Amino acid sequence: MNLQFAAEGADATRALGARLANALRMSAAAMAMPMLVTLSGDLGAGKTTFVAGLLEALGHVGPVRSPTYTLIEPYRVDDRDLYHCDLYRLRHPDELDDLGLRDLRRPGSLLLVEWPERAEGRLGAPDMAIEFEYAGDTARALVFEARSPAGSDVLAHLSAAS
């Protein structure tokens, strides 16, 4: 199952992030298990912008910076642990062990990973994969694909709230 959206401008991408936040909130399945969401697309395609919109909708106040060097940034929002990862600078998939991502996978926790390809399959199967594609200077196409039953539940909430 997948859903596609057009985002004209950064605010539209932020709004889609907020929409995913609401869908996650409404999904009992997503509250009951750790959710892994991968964000794929070229540099500047809007992945961090999307995460900022999602975090803001969950109540985060303040800037959302790309964890370019730390690779991971933890947040506590809406009674859940959220981890924003950017693996662009991962030198080797073995480094993932040092990040301890596996320990972060608790019920209700949310792991958002930019550049998941750098992990070369070591992240495990995502619940949802989001693709960001350039469709012009300020236009992007976002494709949400559910990859697990929990991901499908979230996607169903996402499509219901239009």
Binding to ligand ATP by CB under 6 A, coded x per residue (else -) over 42-71, reads: -xxxxxxx----------------x-----
Beta strands in the chain (DSSP E): 2-8, 35-40, 72-77, 80-86, 110-114, 128-134, 139-146
Instruction: State both tokens at 140.
Output: 């992007």
In this structure, the dihedral spanned by the alpha carbons of residues 130, 101, 78 and 50, taken in order and rounded to 10 degrees, is -30
Which residue number, 29 or 119, has a Cβ lying nearer to ligand ATP? 119
- Any contact of residue 14 with Mg ion (CB under 5 A)? no
Query: Is the Cα torsion angle 72, 17, 55, 111 positive or negative in sign?
Result: negative
Binding-site partner at residue 107 among ligand ATP, Mg ion, none, CB < 5 to 8 Å by type = none
Q: What span, in angstroms and rounded, lies between the C-alpha atoms of 135 and 153?
A: 28
Report whether 94 contacts 74 (CB < 8 A): no
Q: How far apart are CB 56 and ligand ATP at their closest, in Å? A: 13
Binding-site partner at residue 83 among ligand ATP, Mg ion, none, CB < 5 to 8 Å by type = none
Q: What span, in angstroms and rounded, lies between the C-alpha atoms of 47 and 25?
A: 20
Q: How far apart are CB 150 and ligand ATP at their closest, in Å? A: 24
Q: How far apart are CB 139 and ligand ATP at their closest, in Å? A: 6
- Any contact of residue 140 with ligand ATP (CB under 6 A)? yes
Binding-site partner at residue 152 among ligand ATP, Mg ion, none, CB < 5 to 8 Å by type = none
Interface residues with ligand ATP (CB under 6 A) are: 7, 9-10, 12-13, 41, 43-49, 66, 86, 114, 132, 138-140
